[in-house]
Amino acid sequence: MIALSISDLMEPNAACLRLSELITRAGSFGAPDAICIRNDSFSEEPFASMTELVGGLWDGKMILESEDPSNISKAVIHIMGRRPIIIGANSNNLEQFAMVSKLFDCPLCISAETTEELLELSRTAESMEVADIYLDPMLRNMKQCLESCTELARLAEMCPEAAHPVAVRTWSGEYAMTMATVSLLVCDALVIADDLDQDSCETLGALIGSVR
């Protein structure tokens, strides 16, 4: 799955223009599968407002990203029934995020900087009866991307706590394209990019189609 992100700091008109451009790609490999809304403001109101705006225009999958479970709760109300993936759970807030995930029936993405901690958090989330889990290894560079995706793909065959989809943030630019390609090929990851042009999305879309 390929997702492109929108910041809740964007002006509404700019967000509408970006969404309009993405919607025109619908039906082609150049269209993203999902929109990820980032809580860059760290505030409830802008995050909830942007979620409502995007939810009213975008029919595809949605992702909400914030480290504040309260902000997630306020935003997800506007897209009830859409089951957005929520990103932001870590060792400091997993219990609160697990409650939000179960309350709104949303998949939960767990983040940690080491594989050991990531799998420990996965076990904890499973014990809390979180139904759908994504694993975010918090990759910073290409070396980490290749090593972590390969390790998680191998562990998924042996450990139940590793047998979950992987989420990879690839940021933007040519580097994003390279990380996205590796993530998709090695572990069929959910790729979240800040920006990928239509040609890049078409290339990745064709790649996904060829390996499945």
What tens-digit pLDDT sequence spans the chain (212 residues)?
889 899 999 999 999 998 888 787 665 556 788 999 999 999 999 999 999 999 999 999 999 999 999 999 999 999 988 999 999 999 999 999 999 999 999 999 999 999 999 999 999 999 999 989 999 999 888 888 899 999 999 999 999 999 999 999 887 666 777 888 888 888 888 999 876 655 666 666 665 665 55
Position 1 scores a pLDDT of: 84
Q: Where are the domains of the chain?
A: 2-211
Is residue 149 within 8 Å of residue 181, measured between CB atoms? no
Check whether domain 2-211 has CATH 3.30.200.20, yes or no: no
Provide the whole-model pTM.
Answer: 0.89
Position 24 scores a pLDDT of: 79
d(CA 68, CA 121): 17
